[in-house]
């Protein structure tokens, strides 16, 4: 008798979200919004990661602290909580904070795919830019936004977004990243909320000539002392496919640069230092006044 797959659908302000279990791999789920894949998560093996870009981020997380050591990790954009589940599986009890714009989607994902028992994950429901712009303790402003209804009762970490050791910026509006969460002003606030040795990973989607990614790298380079770009597509291939681009940034030297074997095999392309400067070329930084949304994957320029 065929096994029934678990599926849920949810309408979100004229959009449709769907979570579907794999036919061939029980316990593996894909979350999509308007038919666009957002996350893949395995409930049976949370350390099994589907996409190369998320594997790159996970390996950087692995290097951010000693194995098993708690790591305060912030996730801007929840999706199906793939990396949050990875951190909990590899660093049990790590304090984690999620900033998520869609409370209904978050609640539906958690109801369908509960977090591991004992996970210390908090959530702030709201726009990531607004949350980032809120006053930090010691800035003499108003308190930061209150935690949302999905917060846990854990008390191991301050509930504010302060001194993040690792921050994942994965802020997609379906298939597009809005410029207000990709500007110099936004990244300055992310930096202000990071620990002195904190690492920020920004997930993008782009293709040759990588105009958007080069502008993002230029922007992050004005905020952080150390920046590296990791991509699986050949950056010089004019016929190359649209693909994920991950930009890592920190005030301290990046482990993926000092120990490139961390990224495993086949090793992705990595640009840093002079090579990154040459790649950025004359790309303009993005500010609130001079930013653009990320390119739409359906734009004819990719045909």
Task: List, in sequence order, the alpha helices (H) in the chain.
Answer: 52-63, 82-90, 103-112, 128-133, 184-192, 211-221, 255-258, 273-280
User: How does pLDDT run along the chain (303 residues), one tens digit per residue?
Assistant: 445 557 778 777 777 888 888 888 888 999 988 888 888 999 999 999 999 999 999 999 999 999 999 999 999 998 899 999 999 999 999 999 999 998 988 998 998 899 999 999 999 999 999 999 998 887 765 443 333 333 433 333 334 799 999 999 999 987 899 999 999 999 999 999 999 999 999 999 999 999 999 999 999 999 999 999 999 989 998 887 889 999 999 999 999 999 999 998 889 999 999 999 999 999 999 999 999 999 988 887 776
Tokens representing residue 222 in the block: 């004005």
- Taking the C-alpha atoms of 125, 127, 133 and 134 in order, what is their torsion angle to the nearest 10 degrees? -30
User: Is the entire prediction scored with pTM above 0.85?
Assistant: yes
- Crossing angle (nearest 10°) for helices 211-221 and 273-280: 130
What is the CATH superfamily name and number for domain 52-302?
A: Vaccinia Virus protein VP39 (3.40.50.150)
Distances (CA, A) of 49 to 113, 172, 213, 223: 16, 19, 23, 30
């Amino acid at each position: 008798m065929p096994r029934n797959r678990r599926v849920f659908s949810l309408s979100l302000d004229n959009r449709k979200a769907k979570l579907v279990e794999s036919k061939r791999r029980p316990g593996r789920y894909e979350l999509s919004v308007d038919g666009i894949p957002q996350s893949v998560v395995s409930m049976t093996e949370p350390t099994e990661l589907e996409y190369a870009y998320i594997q790159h981020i996970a390996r950087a997380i692995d290097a951010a602290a000693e194995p098993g050591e708690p790591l305060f990790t912030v996730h801007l954009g929840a999706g199906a909580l793939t990396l949050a589940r990875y951190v909990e599986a590899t660093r049990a009890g790590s304090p984690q904070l999620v900033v998520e714009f869609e409370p209904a989607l978050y609640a539906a994902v958690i109801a369908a795919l509960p977090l591991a028992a004992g996970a210390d994950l908090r959530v702030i429901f709201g726009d990531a830019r607004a949350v980032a712009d809120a006053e930090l303790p010691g800035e003499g402003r108003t308190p930061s936004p209150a935690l949302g209804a999905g917060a846990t009762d854990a008390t191991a970490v301050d509930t504010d977004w302060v001194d993040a050791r690792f921050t994942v910026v994965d802020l997609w509006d379906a298939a597009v990243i809005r410029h207000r969460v990709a500007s110099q002003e936004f990244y300055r606030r992310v930096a202000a909320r990071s620990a002195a040795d904190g690492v920020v990973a920004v997930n993008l989607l782009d293709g040759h000539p990588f105009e958007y990614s080069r502008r993002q790298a230029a922007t992050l380079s004005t905020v952080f002392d150390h920046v590296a770009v990791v991509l699986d597509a050949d950056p010089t291939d004019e016929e190359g496919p649209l693909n994920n681009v991950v930009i890592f940034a920190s005030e301290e030297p990046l482990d993926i640069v000092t120990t490139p074997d961390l990224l495993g095999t086949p090793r992705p392309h990595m640009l840093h230092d002079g090579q990154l400067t040459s790649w950025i070329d004359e790309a303009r930084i993005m500010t609130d006044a001079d930013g653009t949304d990320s390119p739409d994957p359906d734009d004819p320029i990719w045909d």
